[in-house]
Amino acid sequence: DAKTTQPPSMDCAEGRAANLPCNHSTISGNEYVYWYRQIHSQGPQYIIHGLKNNETNEMASLIITEDRKSSTLILPHATLRDTAVYYCIVRSPQGGSEKLVFGKGTKLTVNP
Amino acid sequence: EADIYQTPRYLVIGTGKKITLECSQTMGHDKMYWYQQDPGMELHLIHYSYGVNSTEKGDLSSESTVSRIRTEHFPLTLESARPSHTSQYLCASRSGTGELFFGEGSRLTVL
């Protein structure tokens, strides 16, 4: 699975959009970008995933660059409850290593 | 909401005790995983399974063992708990489209 790079921390004001970047320059053609978040010590929660087209669901939007070497998770109107560690992972949905590495992620703090 | 459950949520036991952490999912997923995570630290994969009768060790060496006799059940056992085993243990299963669904975790404290 391709390696990802994320900033260790970010701050965002409540009600504003939170834009979390992820670099995955070694991504291969069949690998998707997945985003998860972990609130405090709960189990990580799946947010969204995509291959090359932008994706949107009720939680967030995912913007993937045309060369697929980076992506941005967008929380359009961040709330205090969005404070969490956000993980970006790249892998093939069917294959890829089972030794899935979450890394350190980005700790997002939403401030009132 | 994901249908994956872990019990117990919290456990405090003495050194030398045998413990089993339970993990069950009702989604019919073949692939299941156990991660270990200390507070504020990264998740480390300790065991995974491709399906019934399949178990593999993950990246982080662990003295625990797992079994997969049924698709929905993936218990983790520590034969003789030690204080170094104090941690949070997270179970997950993987859908056919690659998403991981996690349980709420079992927080183990060994005195």
pLDDT tens-digit series, residues A79-91: 999 999 999 998 8
Both structure tokens of A47: 């947010």
Distance of alpha carbon A98 from alpha carbon A92, whole angstroms = 10
Residue A43 sits at the chain B interface (C-beta within 8 Å): yes
Residue that has been written with the tokens 């998403």 in this structure: B99
Amino acid at B16: G
| 3-class state of residue A84 by DSSP | strand
Q: How far apart are CA B44 and CA A6, in angstroms?
A: 18
Neighbour count for residue A25 (Cβ, 10 Å): 12
State residue A102's pLDDT score: 83
Contact A17, A77 (CB under 8 A): yes
Length of chain B in residues, anyone?
Answer: 111
Decide if B48 contacts B31 (C-beta within 8 A).
yes
CA distance B9 to chain A (A): 11
Q: Which two tokens stand for residue A91?
A: 């892998």
Radius of gyration (C-alpha) of chain B in whole angstroms:
13
How many angstroms away from the CA of A75 is the closest CA of chain B? 19
Q: Answer yes or no: do A36 and B100 touch at CB < 8 A.
A: yes
- Count of Cβ atoms closer than 10 Å to residue A63 Cβ: 16
Residue B62: what pLDDT?
80
* Candidate from A32, A94, A103 with C-beta closest to B42: A103
B62 neighbors B77 (Cβ within 8 angstroms): no
Is the pLDDT at B66 greater than 80? The verdict is yes
Which residue did the predictor score with more confidence, B108 or A97? B108
Chain centroid offset of residue A26 CA: 16
How far away is chain A from the Cα of B85, in angstroms, using its nearest Cα? 17
Chain B positions touching chain A (beta carbons under 8 Å)? 2, 31, 33, 37, 39, 42-43, 45, 48, 50, 56, 58-59, 88, 90-92, 96-105, 107
* Whether B102 and A45 lie within 8 Å, measured CB to CB: yes
Average pLDDT value for residue range B18-22: 97
* pLDDT exceeds cutoff 70 at A96: no
